A and B are shown apart, each in its own frame.
Chain A
Amino acid sequence: MSIGLSRKRALAFSLPALLAITPFLGACFYIFRFSISAETGTIQGFSIRPYLDLMTPFFGRSVWLTVKLAFIATLIAMVLAVPLAFVLTSLRSPLARRCLTVTILLPLILNLLVQAYGWILLLGPSGVLNTTLRGLGIIDRPLFLLFNETGVLLGLVQTSLPLAVFPIVSSVRGLSQEHLEAASSLGASQWQTLRDITLPLLRPGLLGAASIVFAFNASAFAVPLLLGGRRVQMLGVAIRDMISPLFNWSGAAAAGMILIGITLFVLVFTSWLVRITSRNVRD
């Protein structure tokens, strides 16, 4: 005999959770419906005008900026995440492992305002970095690292780093020890092992992590709002501005659909890429 879960009971067990996620699905549908509304303030009729109205140089720049910053931040996060994952998996002491885990995970969870305060204190015109550099006589005028793309980039890397590190850690744990031993006993240097064995084996995990980091960064809102100021109009902030001063609800919904489209495209494209490349490896 096995614990056969009858269909009815399985449904009864799933129902509360499905109810809990219904508002989310409703919200997804609502935003889609609003984006094809003929009116900017209410849902009425069907029209693709909200999308056509977005075809302006301003919005195009915003899309380009979003994709560019998200891409660069993802690249940096991945370059930092792989070594961090290596170190995290090779730490022997549980205490050291725990400290490193908390340090990396904290930025994802901690109130984004607190982190923004930290960056402002560090990089602001009278912040730690500028005061130190001026004290040492290296610079005369303060460097402007905040309220421009540099500040946003730093914030994005920081908040998305955990999303890169932890999936890579589980890929690294699943790495077969034999391959590494074989490479090292055949005289491969560590760089050669990394290039020819480790990274190719980790590739599906790396691509998966990168796509999630990219999606997270492209849809960032608090970081560009707090560290970018008005000048860095990533999509998240641009969408907010359509609502808050302009009350262009359908336009905001359409811009939101475009943002979702970008992130979904990247997620689907990456999973396709993983499938294709892993098939090549098998052949």
Chain B
Amino acid sequence: MRVGLFPNEGGGSYRFVIMALAAIGVLISSLPVIIVTIMSFSASDNTGFPPQALSLRWYQEVIALFTQADGSSAQSVVDATLTSLLVAVIVMSISTLVCIPLAYALTRGDRRIRTGMELLFTLPLVFPLVILGIAFLLIAESLRLDIGIWRIVIPHIALVLPFVLRNCLGAMSGIHPEIEEAAISLGASPLRAIWDVVIPLMKAGILAGLIFALIISFNEFTITFFMYTIDVSTLPIWMYSRTVSSLDPSTLALSVFIIFADIVLIVLVDKLIAGRASLF
């Protein structure tokens, strides 16, 4: 008999307590998102709950925001969204391109070097983001560099490297050297063996890393909060500047689009790694 940590029947107080705590956890995780979604369908101007009537007017407003070329605001939402997407795509491409060869080298190379390198590439995960933001801001200010979008891309790359590398390493771990040896003994050069045999086998992990980098960069707020300029600003910053004084239901509708995109992407990652590797 399999003894579960969570009994499926009986169990009395134990089962009840575990269930109750898990339910509280789920509620804390999901309530804000649920409320935002409900309120975005409200027909009224204020954010009183429950909504008196339902409508899609805030969604129409968001679509209008995107379609009407509005020259009045210095930083329109279209620019911010395009910048966000561009940054996310550059970040995801670069971080994945550098992590694939590194994951290969670490898996096939020296064990001791691997431990050290893994530690080094985990650092950005536990490093306080505020300080990272300030440090990058200080460097950019003191060097007086005008590097445009790279102001945000470079810090974001550091931020997503731990996630991408973790995924690439997970993908490499299942690929035995024998497969490559077979390719080489059949006449492929070692690089050709990597390109034609190893990379295709890593595909799921690479894709998971790509998507992870995309969503983290697209949703990043703290570092961008320090690094943004009038010319280079992202969607989270646009939302912050819009709602710093009051909450406007059309921002909620925009939030729902973001929530939806994030959920789809997370489900994709989860499917790709299919419980084989841990997420981080």
Contacts and interface: CB of A to CB of B under 8 A. Distances in A.
User: Which are the 5 A-B pairs with shortest beta-carbon distances?
Assistant: A118-B32, A219-B128, A27-B135, A24-B158, A13-B105
Contact of A239 (B4, B131, B239, B255): B131
Interface stretch (A47-55, A102-110, A137-145): A102-110
Contacts of B155: 23-24, 27
Contacts, number: 301
Interface stretch (B64-72, B201-209, B214-222): B214-222
Interface string B18-47: 110110111011111111100100000011
Contacts of B275: 97
Interface of A: 1-3, 5, 9-14, 16-17, 19-21, 23-24, 26-28, 30-31, 34, 42-43, 79-84, 86-87, 89-90, 97-98, 100-107, 109-122, 126-128, 131-132, 154, 157-158, 161-163, 165-167, 169-170, 172, 175, 177, 180-181, 183-184, 189-191, 194, 198, 212, 215-216, 218-219, 221-222, 235-236, 239-240, 243, 249, 252-253, 256, 259-260, 263, 267
Given A27-B139, A120-B247, A20 B25 contact: no
A126 B19 CA distance: 31
B139 A111 contact: no
Interface residues of B, number: 107
Contacts of B138: 30-31, 34, 249, 253
B160 to A, nearest CB: 10
Nearest to B262: A110
Given A89-B5, A161-B29, A252 B14 contact: no
Nearest to A5: B108
Given A109-B215, A215-B126, A98 B24 contact: no
Given A166-B278, A259-B131, 12 more contacts: A3-B184, A14-B102, A17-B165, A21-B158, A27-B155, A103-B30, A112-B219, A158-B32, A161-B29, A166-B280, A212-B126, A235-B130
A24 B123 CA distance: 9
A80 B158 contact: no
Given A28-B135, A103-B29, A23 B130 contact: no
A174 to B, nearest CB: 11
Contacts of A117: 32, 36, 243, 247, 251-252, 255
Nearest to A91: B6
Most chain A beta-carbon neighbours within 10 Å: one of B11, B50, B108: B108
A184 B239 CA distance: 54
5 contacts: A2-B177, A102-B266, A102-B267, A111-B219, A112-B219
Interface of B: 1-8, 11, 13-15, 17-19, 21-22, 24-26, 28-36, 39, 46-50, 94-95, 97-99, 101-102, 104-106, 108-110, 113, 117, 120-121, 123-124, 126-139, 142, 154-155, 157-158, 161, 165, 177, 180-181, 184, 190, 215-216, 219, 221-222, 225, 235-236, 239-240, 243, 247, 251-252, 255, 258-259, 262-263, 266-267, 270-271, 275, 278-280
